Amino acid sequence: MSDLAAASCDGETSGPAALEGPEKKPLKPCCACPETKRARDTCIIEKGEENCGPLIEAHKECMRALGFKI
């Protein structure tokens, strides 16, 4: 992850998010589901979006499971 992307994960947000405790900040969409996001992005770069449907859907399901509306 780039320094800019990593830094943006540390900021505050007001989007839909799962709280991890009373003192934790809400989870931002950019930081949710890093495993499925990485696999999806790598596939899209190497093979094109049209060939990565299952990985795209897996990432969407992961995001939905954390409470994001996608």
Point out the annotated binding site for Cu cation: 30-31
- Please report, in range form, the residues annotated as the binding site: 30-31
**Inter-residue contact 58 to 40 (CB < 8 Å):** yes
Half-sphere exposure of 45 (CA within 13 A, CB side): 6
Give the Cα-Cα-Cα angle 47, 50, 52 (nearest 5 degrees): 60
